[in-house]
Amino acid sequence: MKIICIGRNYADHAKELNNEVPTKPVIFMKPKSALLLPGKPFYYPEFTDNIHYECELVVKICKNGKYIREKFAHKYYDAVSLGIDFTARDLQEELKSKGLPWELAKAFDGSAAVGEFIPITPDTNLNDLQFELRKNGERVQAGDTKNMIYTVNEIIEFVSQYISVNIGDLIFTGTPAGVGPITVYDKLDGYLGGEHLLHVDIR
């Protein structure tokens, strides 16, 4: 499996990091070794002093495909959760300033935390889901998927022109404003539509 991530998919977050709002989706990948399964602690890595949380809606691919049209994209995923795109912001700033790829800042072990997945039903409107992240019980991010610049279906259409999607792949759909640092002993909790799906202890 692979983890496909979208950057700068909420205008308010692009602004907070002084990035331009993109005219095409910004894509990067995390390998399978980045996956942090539900309930597992995140161990703060030694190569950075500035890990940020980025809480994101995550969809799970249930069907193999390539060149998927937007209008058929909904057939390619069947479950949704919240995830944390852990980012070594200091490394990312250094790599960005040199025009280099972001992998070391984004794709390290444990950098793709996910919560429990819940099935998508005919009633689920992926374009109108509210979610929030709490750090040590205090709300730090609140998102609504209606503010995504690219919808899940548009992302799948775009990505699958270049990269096939396969059963079990995950798509991290980008983070709203409010990203910030974590420290050891923090607790992160993610709620999707009020449902507690994600918990990560920082060690």
Instruction: Between 17 and 118, name the residue whose CB sits nearer to Mg ion.
Output: 17
Nearest approach in angstroms of CB 85 to Mg ion is 4
Conformation bin of residue 25: beta by default, left when phi > 0, alpha when psi is -120 to 50 = beta
Instruction: Between 65 and 129, name the residue whose CB sits nearer to Mg ion.
Output: 129
- Tell me how far apart the 2 most distant CA atoms of the chain are, in Å: 45
Nearest approach in angstroms of CB 6 to Mg ion is 7
Nearest approach in angstroms of CB 173 to Mg ion is 9
> Contact residues for Mg ion (CB under 5 A)?
54, 85, 175
Instruction: Between 85 and 157, name the residue whose CB sits nearer to Mg ion.
Output: 85
Nearest approach in angstroms of CB 144 to Mg ion is 16
Nearest approach in angstroms of CB 7 to Mg ion is 6
DSSP state of 152: H
Give the residue at shortest CB distance from Mg ion. Answer: 85
Are 143 and 9 in contact by the 8 Å Cβ rule? The answer is no
Instruction: Between 84 and 202, name the residue whose CB sits nearer to Mg ion.
Output: 84
Helices (H) and strands (E) in the chain, counts: 4, 15
Instruction: Please give the Cα distance from 171 to 52 (Å, whole number).
Output: 19
Instruction: Please give the Cα distance from 154 to 117 (Å, whole number).
Output: 21
What secondary structure does DSSP assign to 175-192, as a single string? --S--EE--TT-EEEEEE
Among residues 120, 114, 40, 39, which one has the least CA distance to residue 82?
114
Instruction: Between 60 and 89, name the residue whose CB sits nearer to Mg ion.
Output: 89
